[in-house]
Structure 1
C-alpha cells in the first residue's frame, strides 16, 4: 500500500498522494485519538517553474481529500512537465491555522538540500534482470560493504553505486556470491546510514551524479543488475527498529510532522526494546503495514534478494507473532511464497546475543538465520592468546539447534567492530598468517560466511565503542593493498577456501561433532574438541561425505591423534598432505598457525 503513495510518474504527469490512517474507519490502524488536524495540504517545488515561481505556496496545487477504507487519501496531479529532476515538499495548514513544511514520508527520491523530496520525469529506465540462481542461506558467502567507503578512493565525480561496479569482478573472484549492503535509504547526517529518515528513498549521496541529474534510481538499479549479471545476490540492511524523526519541521520523518502535535503520530512510540532514536510503534497496524511495504518495495521493485533485519530484538516480542518483527517475517514470507520467491532469506540481528535464545527465536518466527557474533569473539580470543577456549567449540557448533533449515551467518568482523588483524595483540597486517586458522574455521562450519570489505587483503580498521563520537566516521577502503605481497597471499587464501567450501557441501551443511559438547580443555576419547594448552581444535562434519578439520592457533607445529570414521585414504585439501588411515585412529601434524582439512575419498 505505502509503496504506491508519494510522487508517482506516468509520462509527463506526476501524481502526489498522502495517506493518513483513521482508527474511526479502521480500528486496526492504531489505538487512541491520533488525528492529524489537517485543513489543507499543498505541494510546492521546482516543478512550478513551468507556470510561475518555484516554491510559491500561493499558487501551489492543493491535494484533495478522498475517502480510503483505512483513513484519508490526499491526492492531486500535475501534467505537462518537461523531462528532468524536480524537488518538492508539502505545505500543511492545520485546523488551528498553524502551518509547516513537511517532507513526503513515501518519497522515492531525496535531495540533500533541505531534505526535499523529489521525482524524475523521463530519465533512464530502471531495468534489473532476475538473479539466475537463488541459493539457500547455507550456500552464501557475503561481502559486506558501505557504498561510500568502498568507492571513496577511486570514484571521482561518479555516484558510489556506479563506481562500485568496477569492483564487482574482484569481489566475485573471492568466491563471494552475495553482497550485503549497509543501509542505503535516506539518512540524516554522516555515518553508516542507521539514522534513517526516508525509508522508500535512496540516500542522495549514493546515487547523485552531476553528469546524470535525472539518473538517481537508475544508479541503484544498474548496480543491482550488474550484481545479478555476475550471479551476485544483493541483500538489504533493513533498519526498521527506529527512525530519526527529526526535531525541526520540514526535515525528518514525514509521518511525525503531518500531525499538528507530532507526539500524536501513531507511527512512533515505545514498542519493545528499542535503544536508538525514535521507536517505530509496531503495536499499531499503520506502522506495521508501513514497515512491511518498505521491505516489499525493495524486494519487488529492485529485485533485492534478501534482508538483514537490523537490531530485530528491538521490535521483537518472543511470545507474539501478530506484531513487530515476528509479524513482519510472517507477512514477508507469505508474500515471497505467493510471488514464487521461496528462497529469499530473511536474517535477523539478535543482539545482545544469547546463542540458545537467538536460535529459538529464529526457529519460532521461521526466519532463515541470524548474525552470529560469538564465533567472531571466540576466534579472536583464540588468535590473540593461542589458547582456544572450550566455548569456541560451542560457537563452531552453532549450526546445530536450528530447525527448518535455519543457519547462522559467521564472520571474523563486521562494520560494528575493528577488523580481525587490528585487535591489540593480533600482530597487525605484518603478521597476517596468524589469522589463518580462524579463516579456515570460518569457511568450514555450517552456515553462511560474511567477509568485511577490505579484510580480504588485510586492511586494518579501528572502530571505537558504541558511545564514541568517532564511531561512524568514514573508513575508506584502500584497494591498493590488494596489490602487494600480503594482499596477494590473503586474497589467494580466501579464494582457495571459498573453492574448497563450494566443492565440499559437507563443510557448509554437515552435522557437527562433537555435539552436544561436554565443556573441557582437553579432547574427548576420539580426539575431538579443544586442547587449550596446545592451541588445537579438532572437529568432524558428516553429510554427503565425512570431513575432519584441525586448527592450530599455536605458533609451532602440533601432532595429534584422531579417531577417523573410515579406513582408507583421506584427502587433505590445503596442502595435499593426504592421510592413509589403516586402523581406527591416525596421527598427523598440523603446522603452526595453520590447519588441516581431511575429507574421505573412499
Structure 2
C-alpha cells in the first residue's frame, strides 16, 4: 500500500508558473483544479511519487518550493484524480528531454553580451522564411538545428535579408515536423538544440543585423504527445479537459484540440507563451498561424461561428506586446484580406502590425504560372500592387512562395511553370524571377521562402533538406535576388522610393502584357523610381510610356541581363529621357524591354 506523506516543503512564495530556480531551490507551480492531490517527483527525490506533495492554493493552483532541486534535473507531476493517478509533464516546462520524455528544470542564464538590437523599420524589412529542420542539415537522416542556421547567416546577410521568420520550434512529436503540431508550447524542440540553441541563433542573427520572427500556433495544440490533454483527469464528451473547449468549438482541421479561449487560466497560458518568446529569447516578432481559426470556429465569416473570446485574446496579446515591447512585430496569417486584422485595438481591430496578404500571392502566382500569356490578367496584377490595409502599404507581407504555397498540393513557382523536376528552363527562370521582382518593388513587406534564391526545385517536405549545392549552379539567380533586395533597401542611394508608401500605376496594357508603376517615398532625386514589367514572352520595343517627371531616367536593374543566367537574352534596353509639357505634367519616354523582364529606372 502506498503511503503518502504530509507536506514536506512549504508552498512557493515565488510568482510564476512552472519550475523556477531560486536562490534556495526550485519553485514548482501547476494549475490542476480537478486534482485531489498533486506531487512532484524527479532526480531530486529519486523519482518517488509521494514524498513531495504540492500545497493547494486558490483557484485550482498548487505549488511547492523544493530546496533539494536544481537546474538541469528532470521532473514530472503526479496527479491524484477521480480518473486515477496521472503522470504529467509540466505545461509550462521550458525544456524537455523529448516530446514523450521528462520535463527539465531550465536554467535561463544566457550571456547576451549587452545586446542592443533594433528590428528594422517595417518599410525596410526583407523577410526570409525558413524551417530549422531542413534549412541546413548536417547529418543525413537527422533534422537540422539552430547551429546549422547560424552557419548560413553570412549568406543571408550578403543577400541583404534583415529578418528571418522561423517556422514553429515548440516541442513536437519526433524530430521531423513542420512544427504546426506543438505538443509542449513552452519548450523548445530538443532536436533543434533546445532553449540554449534558440538563444544562440537569436544572438548570432542580431550580431549579423538580422531580426528573428517566430511562428507560433495558438489555433490548436498537438494533437499528439500532449500532456495537456485531460491534464487533471476532468473532461466532458470524451474531449480534452481544462485546457480545451469540450464541445463543438473544439473542432479544428487538425483535431479537436482548440484551446478554451474563454477560460481565464488558458488565456493566461497563451498570453504568457507569447510574451515568453520576446522576453526570454529576445525574439523580435511573432507570426501567428491561421488566425481565422482563433476568431471563428470554421474560419468563415458566419457570425454564429465567431469566437469572441479568441478575438479578445488576440487583442490582449497584441496590446501587451506593443505596450511592453515597443517596435516588436506581430503578423497574422489570415488571408481573408480584412482591414480589421491590422487595425488598432482601440479602433476595434485585432492590432497586428501586418498580415500575410492573400490579395497579392494568389493573383501574382496565377499571373506568372499560367502557361499562356493571354491568361495573364494585368488588371489583377495592378490591383495586387496597389492593395493595402488601413491605407498603410506595410500592413501586408507579400510573397510568391511560403511553406504553404510550395506544399499541400502546390509546388515551387519554377516547378509549377516547368511542370517537371528539371526547373532549369528559360520559362521557369524568367517568370519566377518576374514574380520576385514584382514582390521586391511593390509596396509591402517582401518575404522569400528558403531555397527560392537558389532555384530550389522541390515542394517543401520536412524530411527533404535544402540542397545547397544549387547555390554554385545558380549563383547568378542569387545575385539577381541580391540586387533586387539592395535596390529595395536603397543601398546604392538612388531607389529610396521602393521603401516608400506611395505607388501610382502609370500604364496597364493587357494586350501587350505590360505594366508600369511609379514608387516614391518623399519624391525627388534618388527617390522617385519607375518599374516597368513585361509579362509576355515577346520583347517590347519603342514603347511610349508616361513617366512622372521629365529628364533622363537611368536603368538601375534589368532582369534580362545575361550575368544573372546564361539563358537570359541580354535584350538591349537603354536609359531614356522623358519629355513633355510642364503645364499638363505629362511626360513621355520610350522604353524597350525583354520578354518576361523587369526594368527599374530612377533619376540621380
Write the mapping of 1:462-477 to structure 2, written as runs, cut at 5 A: 462-463=459-460, 473-477=462-466
Where does residue 131 of structure 2 map in the other structure? 146
**Are 2:502 and 1:511 aligned?**
yes
Q: 1:346 aligns with which of 305, 324, 330?
A: 330
1:435 CA displacement: 2.0
Q: 1:557 aligns with which of 519, 539, 542?
A: 539
Where does residue 261 of structure 1 map in the other structure? 235
Evaluate the alpha carbon distance shift between residue 157 and residue 196 of structure 1 in structure 2; reply closer, same or farther with a 3 A threshold. Answer: closer
**Are 2:536 and 1:547 aligned?**
no
Where does residue 433 of structure 2 map in the other structure? 436
Q: Deviations over 1:80-132 (max 9, x none)?
A: 4577x3322211111x47111112111111122623211246x9635375453
Evaluate the alpha carbon distance shift between residue 227 and residue 47 of structure 1 in structure 2; reply closer, same or farther with a 3 A threshold. Answer: same
Do 1:129 and 1:225's aligned partners in 2 also have CA atoms closer than 8 Å? no
Where does residue 354 of structure 2 map in the other structure? 369
SS of residue in 1 equivalent to 2:56: strand
Cα separation, 2, equivalents of 1:158 and 1:376: 29
Q: 2:48 aligns with which of 41, 51, 56?
A: 56
Q: Deviations over 1:200-254 (max 9, x none)?
A: 11011111xxxxxxxx4221111100111111111010101111254xxxx4142
Q: 2:601 aligns with which of 589, 598, 602?
A: 598
1:347 CA displacement: 0.8
Gaps of 5+ in 2: 1-13, 344-348, 559-572, 581-586
TM-score by length of 1: 0.81
Where does residue 409 of structure 1 map in the other structure? 397
Where does residue 98 of structure 1 map in the other structure? 84
Where does residue 286 of structure 2 map in the other structure? 307
CA-based RMSD of the aligned residues comes to: 3.0
**Which protein has greater RCO, CA pairs closer than 8 Å, 6+ apart?**
1
Where does residue 31 of structure 1 map in the other structure? none
1:539 CA displacement: 2.0
Cα separation, 1, equivalents of 2:34 and 2:216: 32
Aligned length: 533
Q: Structure 1 residues 289-298 or 575-584, which shifts more?
A: 575-584
Do 1:552 and 1:595's aligned partners in 2 also have CA atoms closer than 8 Å? yes
Q: 1:393 aligns with which of 382, 393, 400?
A: 382
Where does residue 78 of structure 1 map in the other structure? 66
Where does residue 222 of structure 2 map in the other structure? 244
Cα separation, 1, equivalents of 2:152 and 2:118: 21
Q: Deviations over 1:16-51 (max 9, x none)?
A: 11124xxxxxxxxxxxxxxx4311111223333xxx
Gaps of 5+ in 1: 21-35, 49-53, 208-215, 464-471, 515-526
1:511 CA displacement: 2.1
Write the mapping of 1:489-508 to structure 2, written as runs, cut at 5 A: 489-503=476-490, 504-508=495-499
Cα separation, 2, equivalents of 1:136 and 1:327: 27
Evaluate the alpha carbon distance shift between residue 13 and residue 289 of structure 1 in structure 2; reply closer, same or farther with a 3 A threshold. Answer: same
Evaluate the alpha carbon distance shift between residue 235 and residue 548 of structure 1 in structure 2; reply closer, same or farther with a 3 A threshold. Answer: same
Cα separation, 2, equivalents of 1:314 and 1:241: 6
**Are 2:560 and 1:568 aligned?**
no
Evaluate the alpha carbon distance shift between residue 424 and residue 598 of structure 1 in structure 2; reply closer, same or farther with a 3 A threshold. Answer: closer
Where does residue 521 of structure 1 map in the other structure? none
TM-score by length of 2: 0.81
Do 1:240 and 1:310's aligned partners in 2 also have CA atoms closer than 8 Å? yes
